[in-house]
Amino acid sequence: MLAIVGTVPIRDFPLTHGPLSVSGPWLEIRGNRVDINRGTPALMAAAVAASQALGKESPYGFLVGDIGHGRGSRELYHFLTEHAADHSFSVMTFHYLQPIAHWNEKVINAVLSVHRPPMLIADAGFMYAAKMSGHAQRFDLFTPDMGELAFLADENAPHPFYTRGFILHESNRAPELIARAYAHGNAARYLLVKGAMDYVADRSGILEAVSEPSVPVLEPIGGTGDTVTGIVSVLIEAGYAVPEAAAAAAMANRLAGRYAQPTPATQVMDIIKQISRALGEVLGLGVSKVTHAPLPQ
């Protein structure tokens, strides 16, 4: 089973865990309803849609309210450290959490010390903390955007806010930044870099580059990176190899974006509604048959 761990931007939302479902504009967890458009719920709703497309059981969620003070994140970190052995997950995806290096380390140690350790995926704050705590290499997949890739590539930066100016975010520098992130031990086993061109990479370099369909207006829409992470998490849990899952998720997200006919003002829920159709189409084509962009030289 897939577990997704993150926060909602509601000050007093209690620590809640349970199976996830979607009802109209709401994500539901243990009788609580939260807006899909903001934060981890977007990732979770995308994962629910992808699970439905694959005929899989719904993911399990861990959510707590946090508006940036870090109190909710600390409570959730503490809970996971204490209760890691209470559950059995094959994949765990960590998302919007206050990046706190020592808590990150405790949680990783706890979830990897169970009888059958899960595969680990990180995005957003938990990915920042994984790099900061020096445990990036214990993860199976990171899903950074280009700015976050530059941060992973800068061995001195504790947060994307401090990425040094000479490490530029341009898409055509992705191969160099990926190599640099691996050289300093700051990347997971695989990377799915989200951008105008999506890259799937490992220590050996770029494995796949996905650029079609091209929907530039997805970039300003908050949550469109989260949806990719939700889809790839489901595909990995379903048994797809990480590189194939990452390429298929990137394509499905683009296709869902195209079907939503977005403008820069579109909200992510309109794209999530299209994920089931888009993912079905991508998997129906067969991942290996989809046309990829040529790899950069």
Partner 1 sequence: MDLGFLVFQNTSEVLQAEKALRKAGWKDIRVMGPPPEVRTGCDLVIEFPLMEELKVLKILEDSGVIPEAVVPVSSPLLKPVDLYAITDFGDYLMVRAANMKITVDKNTLVIVNISGGGCPDVPYLAHEMTGKRLDEAPCPKDIGHTLCAYALQLAYEEVGKRCSP
Which residues would be at the binding site for partner 1 (CB under 8 A)? 7-9, 35, 38-40, 66-70, 72-73, 96-102, 104, 123-129, 132-133, 145, 147-148, 151, 156-163, 165, 168-169, 216-217, 219-225, 263-267
Instruction: DSSP letter for 189, please.
Output: S
Q: Which of 64, 283 has the CB closer to partner 1? A: 64
Which ranges of the chain does DSSP label H, i.e. alpha helix?
40-54, 71-83, 101-112, 124-132, 146-153, 174-183, 224-237, 242-259, 268-272, 275-285
Amino acid at 284: G
For partner 1, the closer CB: 59 or 99: 99
Cβ of 292: how many Cβ atoms within 10 Å? Answer: 17
Q: Which is nearer to partner 1, 9 or 175 (CB)?
A: 9
Helix (H) or strand (E) holding 5: strand 2-8
- Closest distance of CB 117 from partner 1, Å: 24
Minimum Å gap between C-beta 105 and partner 1 is 11
Q: Is the peptide bond before 175 cis (omega within 30 degrees of 0)?
A: no
AA identity, residue 168: L
| Minimum CB–partner distance for residue 282 and partner 1 (Å) | 23
Contact 120, 105 (CB under 8 A): no
Minimum distance from residue 114 beta carbon to partner 1 (Å): 25
DSSP assigned state of 14: P
From the CB of 199, what's the least distance to partner 1, in Å? 17
Rank residues 128 and 259 by Cβ distance to partner 1 and give the closer one.
Answer: 128
Query: Of 25 and 243, which CB lies nearer to partner 1 in the complex structure?
Result: 25
Write down the least CB distance from residue 204 to partner 1, Å.
27
Nearest Cα to Cα of residue 181 among 108, 131, 242, 240: 131
- In the bound state with partner 1, the residue whose beta carbon lies nearer, of 142 and 199, is 142
The whole-angstrom separation of Cα 290 and Cα 256 is 16
